[in-house]
Structures are given as C-alpha cells and as structure tokens.
Structure 1
Amino acid sequence: MTVNDNALQDFIARHPRLFVLTGAGCSTDSGIPDYRDEAGGWKRRPPMTYQVFMGDSVARARYWARSMIGWRSFGRARYNAAHAALARLEHQGHIVLLVTQNVDGLHEAAGSTNVLDLHGRLDRVRCMICERVIPRPDVQVMLESANPEWVHLAASDAPDGDADLDNQDFSQFREPRCQVCGGILKPDVVFFGETVPRGRIEQAIGALESADGMLVVGSSLMVHSGYRYAQMASRLGIPICAVNLGQTRADDLLTLKVQQSCSVALDSLVA
C-alpha cells in the first residue's frame, strides 16, 4: 500500500513503540551516495569483500587509496532532516531502538542516543592482530604522510567514503599498518563476506520483540542483515511501514509504504 506522509503520521500514532531500521537512503541528502537504484539493483560494482581485503595486498592498497580521497568529503558529511526527525521521535519516546545499516555515525551526530550501528562505524579503524582501535582521522594523517604523491588526486564520491579513483598503479600505494604490532588495519565495519557480531543481532531481536511497529527508512532491504528483521516482524504480526523511494525486498510484507525522500517525509511528519 503506497500513500503519503499523513498515513505515516497515523502509523506512528497507532504504533508508539517503534523498531526503526535505516539504510543508505537516509543519508543521501547528506551527500553520501547509495549503492542501489530504485529497483534494488547495483548502481556500481559490489563493494570490497572481507576475503579480498584480507588476502590481496594490491586490492587493499586500492581500497585505502580510494578511501584517502573519499574521506575528505565523507568525514565532513553532516546530518540531514531525516536524521534530525528520528532523533526528535526518540526524544518523544517513540523509538525502542534505531538500528542502522549505515556506517556514517550521522544518527548519533543528530542527537539519537539509542542507536545500534549494525555494520559498525567508518570513523574507527581496527588492527586485525592486536585489536587496537584508531580514529579514522588519525589514519588519514598516516595515509597522506606515507603517500604525498597521491594527495593531489581528486575523484568523485562513492558510497561509504569510497571514491571513484581508477587507472592508477595501486601497487605503489603504501597502505597503513598498525604502529604497535604492524598488523593489517581495517575499517571497523562489517564488509561483505563478514558476519554481523552475534551480540548486535541479539540486541536488535530483543528490541523488535518489544516493539509494536517497525519503521524502515531509506533501505531496500536487499541485504539479508536488514531483511531478516522485516521477516521476523511479519512472523510476529508486527506491522511494517517503509519510507523509501524505490522497491524493497519486503514490499509484500509491508502494511504501509511511503514513496518519498526520507528527509521530506520525516521532516513534515515531526513538523
């Protein structure tokens, strides 16, 4: 069922304990590109997998070279009206838990406190040997210091802090290493091919079981780590509303669908 934001307001009024799941569409108005088109297909090649990142030094160098360029824009991204609206809904007591598939930290920046970063945060980097966690801005300094000849390069923004930097000899790029043990450094996010930590899954399931409605904001639910909660809500008889411009994997499970920009739909809702 596809309707407008008045129906969204009614949905929230009738279901005051919401389990909220957000995806890339929530952050596109902050200038962060998304991966999928309105039919849920890939706009570009799929992102780096965990297995390739850990096993291929040139692929890892390529990742960090593109990340060095992309971080300049990604690191400056600011929350938008959708993030602000969800923070206000939380402060009004409407949200049991906000689970985000995004790795940009913009929900917290907007003032939301009850947030589960399902796929981690890109503003942290972890050593794969000693588990040391390093702020991403510190890694940016390491990258630029080790690769001064790459600093002048520019490229268009891509999802999740990536940049469309190609046609370079990435074997010449010096990747960052842990300054304590020399281990491989990896963004503290769940790559394709990795599994979401069990504790996060259990926290989300517990919150969903205590909710009386599920609100999906800006997610196509094509990734199973998000779709599973729509499936579970359906099994539990919990109504589901989605605010998304395009198709979702759970369209047949929805009680309500609002096909509007997340910022437009949510900002008018709380206004």
Structure 2
Amino acid sequence: MAARFEELAWRETPIGEISLRRRRDPLLDVEVYEVKLDDEYLMSSLFPVAEIELARLGLAWLPDPGAELDVVVGGLGLGYTARTALADPRVRSLLVVEAIEDVIDWHRRKLLPFAAGLATDPRNRFVLADFFAVVAGEGGFDPDAPGRRFHAVLLDVDHSPRQVLHASHAPFYTADGLRRLAGHLHPDGVFALWSNDPPDDGFRRTLDAVFRDTEAHVVSFANPLQGGESTNTVYLARR
C-alpha cells in the first residue's frame, strides 16, 4: 500500500524552502501532488483548471488559426500550463523558463505521472533562468538566439501582481516592466497572466497603458476542500 504522505523532493532556494509532496486524500480517494514554498501552498494537482485555462485562453487569443507558434511559459510548477500549450497543434516550439533547477528535475525524474512526456517532447526546452531577470535584461528568453521574439508568453509565478513571491518581481508589473515584456513579442503577440486574486482594476489600467487589447477572465472551478467554488483570474493582453 502506498504511503499516506510522502515528501518527494525538498530544497532551500533564494526565495525559501520549496518542496514537492504527495499525499492520499481519503475523502476524495485520489493522489494529490502539492508544491509548498516554506509554509505556503503554491499549487496543487487538485486545482489545475486555471493553469490549464492560462494556456488555452492565451493561445486562443492569437489571431491566425493556421500559424506556427513559438511560446514561452514562465514558471514550470506541476506542468499543467506547459502541457496544455503543447496540446495545441499550432505550437512548434516551447521554452519553459524556470528559476529553480529542482522543479525542472522533478519532471526529468518523472516524479509527476500526470506530466509524463513534457520533459521528452522534442518541441519543449527547459531554460534555467529567473523569468523576471530575463525580461529586465537584454538577451531575451532563448539563450541560443538572443533577441528572439515569440507569439505568446504565458506567466504563472507569483500569487498575483500585488502578491509577489519576491520583491524583485514587483517592477515587472509596472508599465515599464510590461513594455519590456512586450518587446519580446511579435506584433499581435499575446501575454497571458495567472492570478489568484479577483480582477484588479489598477493592474488592468497598467496593461491598457502598454497593450492594444486587454481582458480579464474569471475562471471558476470546484473546490472540494471547501465544499463550493473558487476562482482565479487570467489576464490577456495583445501587443
């Protein structure tokens, strides 16, 4: 019989102690995979809906249904956003930018059975880098092709634009930071952002100051732990 609880991986990082845990939920009778940063829960395999919608909504906003797409995912986590992006037949290349080497290693070591195939898909490449430092720098997301542009950038790292995991991330959510991000997109390219908070009018105004079109989608999903529904937000912005 599998253990009721197991810590699969743990590491001290510059932003805190990150761990991957697997537990058996006796009420739902499912295996649950969870990521914690110190004592905070970052993500759970019980609630993948918004991470999936981040990719689905973001790529759906691209105007040419026949285009071949080059996509960046910021933040690997449990892999739901990256896997959803690769499920779109238009995606010819994917760069997953992840700051913590251990998170990439979880996928290469096949610790996440529901993410099988992500590490071996020939269209996908992991880039070990701080997404926010890359945006602020000059080289771009692809270390092998400085200045390369992309059709979509899908970001899921911080809790929200106002609840960041590290103070160094905060400048990204300003107009100057978002202009730098827009410079990595092709014309008509899309930036999509996951947020745990309800739509933020102030951040929406900042997006409007930089991008041509913007939307904020509220994504609802069942929350069996609380016996109701929870919501996240996906922001969309077109260059």
Return the TM-score normalized by structure 2: 0.38
Q: Which has the higher strand share?
A: 2
Q: Which has the higher helix share?
A: 1
Return the TM-score normalized by structure 1: 0.35
Query: Which structure is larger by alpha-carbon Rg, 1 or 2?
Result: 1
